[in-house]
């Protein structure tokens, strides 16, 4: 499978061009940006395993976070700084390599690509020098070719047709920017605006609905 972004030139933090394109007989082709941690891949599960091993905490007591910062969720972090210190230590130990894709996420990405959509993984990771862990992980789970990855803090700069993300502030910023957003049903983001999905297999249906709206606008 060939992965490319013919409508936009994607580099590490920039893209050019834009707009939804209608291909005769193929429907609407969309530009879809997909976040990694706790969107495509289970960051919480990987961090839970690290905390259990390195901080001597029973994994069963580490509930799914009710806040994006993991505070007030039974995790052993008494401040955002403590959370970030644990995160940095875990990353040094290979946290990003230990994550698992959410069920059906890999197959859904491949399905959307086969349908002709342009995809990019967009992550705000700034603690993975040269994207070593990120690239190795993506190559493992999407062997034989995969969407490119862009490292960017403000994902509204991508101006994607659809952003798939879990961060509440990013969801709201993207919608304020005029972007469509789909997000998982995590406790900390399930009440955010946009299209919520509980299973990655639901995402193609969301995309089809947006295709229909875009097609009507272009007729």
Q: Which two tokens stand for residue 70?
A: 């993991």
Q: Are 20 and 107 in contact (CB under 8 A)?
A: no
Q: How far apart are CA 118 and CA 137, in angstroms?
A: 20
Q: How far apart are CA 10 and CA 15, in angstroms?
A: 5
Query: How big is the chain by its Cα radius of gyration, in Å?
Result: 18
Q: For tokens 């995160």, what's the residue? A: 87
Closest C-alpha among 185, 187, 159 to residue 174: 159
| Residue-by-residue pLDDT tens, the chain, 219 positions | 444 444 443 333 333 234 444 443 445 789 999 999 999 999 999 999 999 999 877 767 788 999 998 887 778 888 889 999 999 999 999 999 999 999 999 999 999 999 999 999 999 999 999 999 999 999 999 998 899 999 999 999 999 999 999 999 999 999 999 999 999 999 999 999 999 999 999 999 999 999 866 544 443
Q: Are 194 and 182 in contact (CB under 8 A)?
A: yes
* pTM, rounded to two decimals: 0.86
Give the per-residue pLDDT at 214: 55
The residues that bridge with 29 in the sheet, in sequence order, are 21
DSSP 78: S
Give the per-residue pLDDT at 58: 73
3-state secondary structure of 197: strand
3-state secondary structure of 189: coil
């Amino acid at each position: 499978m060939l992965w490319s972004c013919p409508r936009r030139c994607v580099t590490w933090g920039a893209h050019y061009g834009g707009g939804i394109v209608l291909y005769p007989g193929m429907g609407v082709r969309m530009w879809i940006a997909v976040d990694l941690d706790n969107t495509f891949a289970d960051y919480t599960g990987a961090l839970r395993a690290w905390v259990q091993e390195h901080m001597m905490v029973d994994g069963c007591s580490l509930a799914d976070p009710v806040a994006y910062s993991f505070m007030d969720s039974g995790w052993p972090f008494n401040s955002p700084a403590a959370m970030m210190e644990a995160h940095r230590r875990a990353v040094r130990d290979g946290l990003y390599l230990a994550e698992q894709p959410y069920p059906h996420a890999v197959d859904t990405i491949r399905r959307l690509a086969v349908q002709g959509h342009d995809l990019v993984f967009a992550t705000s990771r700034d603690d993975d020098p040269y994207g070593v862990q990120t690239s190795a992980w993506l190559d493992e789970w999407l062997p034989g070719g995969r969407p490119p990855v862009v490292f960017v803090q403000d994902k509204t700069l991508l101006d994607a047709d659809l952003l798939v993300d879990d961060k509440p502030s990013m969801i709201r910023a993207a919608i304020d920017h005029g972007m469509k957003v789909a997000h998982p049903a995590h406790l900390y983001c399930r009440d955010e605006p946009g299209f919520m999905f509980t299973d990655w297999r639901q995402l193609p249906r969301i995309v089809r609905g947006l295709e229909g709206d875009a097609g009507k606008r272009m007729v």
